[in-house]
Amino acid sequence: MWRMLTRMPGAVIVAVLLHLLLALAIVFNQLWKPERIEPSGQQADQPTIEAESVSSAAIEKQAERMRQQREAREQEVKQQTQAAEEAAAARRAEQARAEQLAELRKQREQAAKAEAERLARLKEQQAQLEAERQEAMEDAKAAREAAEAAREKAEAERREAEQAAQRRAAEEKARQKAEAAKKAAEEKARKEAEAARKAAEEKARKEAEAARKAAEEKARKEAEAAQKAAEEKARKEAEEKARKAAEEKARKAAEEKARKEAEEKARREAEAARKQAEREARERALQEQLAAEQQARAEQDALSRWGAAIKAKVRRNWQRPPGAQPGWTCTVTVRQDRDGRVRNVSVERCDGDRLFERSVVQAIEASSPLPKPELESIFQEELRFNFKPE
């Protein structure tokens, strides 16, 4: 019904107005027929005016029959709309997370805007209909019942909107939970990658330092050997001096080459370690995100199964009271403890009489303890649902 109002508000309003106008036309047709008047001073052969009077009970019976037919049609449309919404919700749950979040935000904005516009239009139309009804016939009971039915329908739609808002709030909570898990995983991966990079850089620095010291020690030993050779071979001092210069140049070139090779090796190892750590962190973040989304879907499915199990048990314990009519429903709020024992049952709205309302309360109390949910995380102490016998 909610989706029908948001998609085709004009058609729904026109249908309501047509029903009200039809009811008023029937009432006016019955009440405005002239009565038979036979003045005593006129001749017998003069034409007379004949009229039939209809009792208020017949009018009320006709209006009641029309109201029941209208309610039956509205109930059928409501059931079809609810079935379509459930199928659409199952299909939306399988879509990509990014598309689902965008769609949810768009739906919330459109729903809020459509609800405000619909309520404004409905309020204006109700005021107009009330003014016309007061002007036409102030004490027409059928018109009052039609206005009351319209008000109850608006109240039911408002409650359905509240339930939709609660479902959207649950979905938003699951999305925020998954987003928080994703951010935590990404932060953890970043820290691990940073630690791996620092470790690789430290390792490269130590290796370069060791290579430098080894080259210096080698050069020192070679210099000492060269010095001893120079002392022993003084006559070859010029040649030895040239040799030392060549050795010094070669030593520096070797040290520079060894240092560059060590730094390059350390850089490559650090880069490889960083990329590996980032890849592993992304994989872990993706796995945690998928796990969070699967958990959210599992909680939503478990919540639906839990509600169905509670309604099924209540229906099994319900005893049909005398005079119960098809299509009667009751909206109830049930408070329970952690073990499922019913603590309180309050009726918010009920289409039936007192016997029907009492039978619903007794069925819920007889169903204590209520079935437990599959997941402890979805347990709610306060439950609100519509009881439909058929």
End-of-domain residue from the set 178, 207, 227: 178
pLDDT at residue 30 in the model: 67
Pick out the chain residues at pLDDT < 70.
Answer: 1-8, 30-55, 140, 143, 147, 185, 189, 193, 196, 200, 204, 208, 219, 223, 230
Q: How many domains does the chain have?
A: 3
Same domain (yes/no): 154, 24: yes
Strand 382-387 with 330-336, pairing: antiparallel
What is d(CA 310, CA 207) in angstroms, rounded to the nearest whole number? 70
The verdict on 151 and 191 lying in the same domain is: no
Look at residue 300 and tell me if it is in a domain. Answer: no
Same domain, 242 and 345: no
Based on the domain organization, do 193 and 95 belong to the same domain?
no
Asked if residue 103 is part of any domain, the answer here is yes
Which pLDDT score is estimated for 360? Answer: 93
CATH number of the domain at 360, please.
3.30.1150.10
Q: β-strands 342-350, 382-387: how paired?
A: unpaired
Q: Is residue 30 part of a domain?
A: yes
How far, in Å, CA of 262 to CA of 32, rounded? 109
CB 20 within 8 A of CB 146: yes
The confidence score (pLDDT) of residue 175 equals 83
Token pair of 7 as six digits: 């998609």
Instruction: Encode pLDDT of 218-275 as tens digits.
Output: 868 886 887 787 688 878 888 888 788 888 888 998 899 989 998 999 899 989 999 9
Residue with tokens 């249908």: 15
Tell me how far apart the alpha carbons of residues 371 and 309 are, in angstroms, rounded to a whole number.
7
Specify the pTM.
0.32
Indicate if 78 and 116 belong to the same structural domain: yes
One domain, residues 84 and 191? no
In this structure, how many other beta carbons lie within 10 angstroms of the beta carbon of residue 160? Answer: 18
pLDDT digits (tens, 9 = 90+) for 327-352: 899 999 999 999 999 999 999 999 88
For 119, the domain range is 2-34+52-178
Check: CB of residue 82 under 8 Å from CB of residue 157: no
9 with 152, same domain?
yes
Helices (H), the chain: 2-7, 9-31, 56-93, 97-136, 141-232, 237-317, 354-366
- H or E segment to which residue 96 belongs: none
